[in-house]
Amino acid sequence: MASACTFHGIVGIQNATRYSLDPKKTFWKMEGFVLVSPDPEDGVGDLSASVFIFGGRNAPPEDGIYFVNARIVTTTVDENMSLELYCVDDMQQTDGARAIPTVIVVGKVSKGSSGLVDTRGFDVDIMQYGVMPQQLVRIRCFYPDDHPHLSKTPLPTAEKHVIVQGSISELYDNRCVISVHDITLGPLTAVVERHRHAEAVPPTKLKSFNWNGGKGKKSQRAVHGDSEVESEPARSKSKKRSMNLYKRWWVKK
């Protein structure tokens, strides 16, 4: 079965710098911030991350708040763990009302997809619960010609497990057509699991990002996230909220 770990949501970014693995693989690397709570008053701060986007030769992204689709990678160096987000398509700024939704498809490639090789496409048929059990979802995926990551990616063969991230482009030939942004194929047989019982490391300290978009207003999160110790009012408020939730749960039982 294919496996993947992906992120789809809002991040704050700042300070883009060039990052290169070799002359053919260049990126923009940015300081990123991920919300861990929707309540700006709870004082928990924001999770820091390194955000990468392919194409370090283009103009750098501006500081701001974006919607991203990305692969998640975690790294540990000297007992310090970090989160890395590798964007699989363009970051979308959130200052407008338009943002293309992401579709995730998990299943096996249908038989008969060999006829779509010339168009770099394949079909996936999925049965899942809609308003009733076992409703059919007929999907057709295709690789865009101008996608920088997929120019050398092979098409999956029939019965191959895949995980696809993409966006809906149209309804055609009785199928929902998905433009692929990223794809994960079934695992290799040579995969070896290492460091299964790695030593525990302390949790990463949360930081703060100005989610007001630089409009001159100080973020509420910045007040609490820079402190090593949670403030007493925030701790009391969090504890009280937890007790209320527990009481409501207990009454329902």
Q: Are 167 and 103 in contact (CB under 8 A)?
A: yes
- Looking at residue 218, what is its pLDDT? 43
Copy the structure tokens of residue 53. Answer: 């986007």
- Looking at residue 130, what is its pLDDT? 77
At 77, the amino acid letter reads V
Q: Tell me the CA end-to-end span of the chain in Å, nearest whole number.
A: 39
- Looking at residue 118, what is its pLDDT? 82
Beta bridge pairs of residue 138: 125
- Looking at residue 243, what is its pLDDT? 46
Burial class from Cβ neighbours inside 10 Å (0-12, 13-18, 19+) for residue 46 reads buried
* Residue matched to tokens 């978009």: 213
Q: Spell out the per-residue pLDDT of the chain, length 253, in tens.
A: 667 788 998 899 999 998 887 777 788 999 999 988 777 777 777 888 999 998 766 788 899 999 999 998 988 888 788 889 999 888 988 876 677 888 999 999 988 777 788 888 999 998 888 778 888 888 999 998 877 678 788 888 888 899 999 898 888 888 999 999 999 888 543 343 444 444 555 666 777 777 776 555 444 433 333 333 444 444 444 444 444 544 444 444 4
DSSP state of 113: G
Q: How far apart are CA 49 and CA 42, in angstroms?
A: 21
pTM over 0.85: no
Q: How far apart are CA 183 and CA 143, in angstroms?
A: 10
- Looking at residue 154, what is its pLDDT? 86
